Amino acid sequence: MGLINAGIKIRNKKGIFFTMMAILIISLFVLSYTFYNEIKEDKSVNNRVNTMNNFLFSVEKDLERQMYIFGFRTIFLIEKKIVETGTYRTNINQTFHEAFFNGTIYGEAQALLNDAKFSHFNNTINNNAKKINVDIIFSDPKVEVTQDDPWHIKVTLIADLEMSDIGGVALWKKTEKISGRISVENFEDPIYYTITSGRASNKITRTPYTDFSVIADFSEHATNSYYKADSDAPSFLDRLAGNITIANPQGIESIVNLQKLSQQGVSVQEKSTIDHIYFSSDNPSFGCVNGMPSWFRIDDTHADKYNVTVGGCSGGLFE
């Protein structure tokens, strides 16, 4: 009897052992399965976040290009209107705002802005976003135009952006400030055209010269009416608005070639040929520089800036 009871106890112990092992194996299986699913789910979320992040990066890069295109075309259209009307656009930021959101200049629709205005690229971005099940909303968009160097206009889109996954996986909220930089070189200087009633023009070309004490270089600079940066001159944006007497840290100036003006039927006057002085009512004392063209005149302040010596003038302007 004792042996039988002992055998039963051994079998019971074995049964308990195998039962516990089975429970342990099942528990490990459940834990492994759960852990695997969590890893799989985390990987899926990470992949989704990366996809959305890459999409946002491509949107931002494309917006830089779009702002450049919009800015370039708007400057072109503003200058075109100045040529057509003979008047400046006094509020440049307002004009850019009108062009960006309405696609108009002076209230007139511009076909050149159809694919460069806000509504167009906003629709394009949203159509592309839907292809990857993403919603993008731009709130309170603004556009501003500035200059932080003499040779470029900066056109900036400022807007609150919200990008969300349609399935609720991820959400981005940020303030976008995206700029396109447009070179002012090769645009016409509106001051020349407007003041001469359309008879003379001058394309903005940056001077290749730096040492104006070399008279041969200074003569070429003056004859070709090249531009140099100068903080007592108006900027390109000032020139678009007709603000020729404003001194601006981003200012540029040229020397007015009086001989070319005369050949184009414009009556000339004898005064400093620095453009923002010549085309204004200012008339500081001036003189001539040995070796420069006979029509050239320069005021004392700018003679110091160009590092040239002013002397008396003899003879006429075109001798």
- CA separation for the pair 80, 110 (Å, rounded): 12
In a domain? residue 1: no
The whole-number pLDDT of residue 310 equals 96
Q: What is the percent of the chain where pLDDT is above 90? A: 74
**Domain ranges, residue 223:** 190-305
- Domain check: are 167 and 230 in the same one? no
Q: What is the pLDDT of residues 258-298, one digit of tens each?
A: 999 999 999 999 999 999 999 999 999 999 999 999 999 99
- CA separation for the pair 93, 112 (Å, rounded): 19
The whole-number pLDDT of residue 19 equals 54
Tokens matching residue 107:
């209230």
In a domain? residue 30: no
Q: What is the pLDDT of residues 191-233, one digit of tens each?
A: 999 999 999 999 999 999 999 999 999 999 999 999 999 999 9
Question: Which of 151, 183, 215 corresponds to the end of one domain?
Answer: 183
In a domain? residue 263: yes
- CA separation for the pair 100, 63 (Å, rounded): 13
Domain count, the chain: 2
In a domain? residue 261: yes
| 3-state SS track over 230-279 | CCCCCCHHHHHCCCCCCCCCCCEEEECCHHHHHHCCCCCCCCCCEHHHHC
Which segments within 34-120 are labelled E, that is strand?
Answer: 104-105, 108-109
In the predicted model, residues of the chain with pLDDT beneath 70 are: 1-45
- Domain check: are 54 and 145 in the same one? yes
Q: How far is CA 42 from CA 56, 146, 169, 245, in A?
A: 21, 45, 11, 63
- Domain check: are 178 and 278 in the same one? no
- Domain check: are 171 and 207 in the same one? no
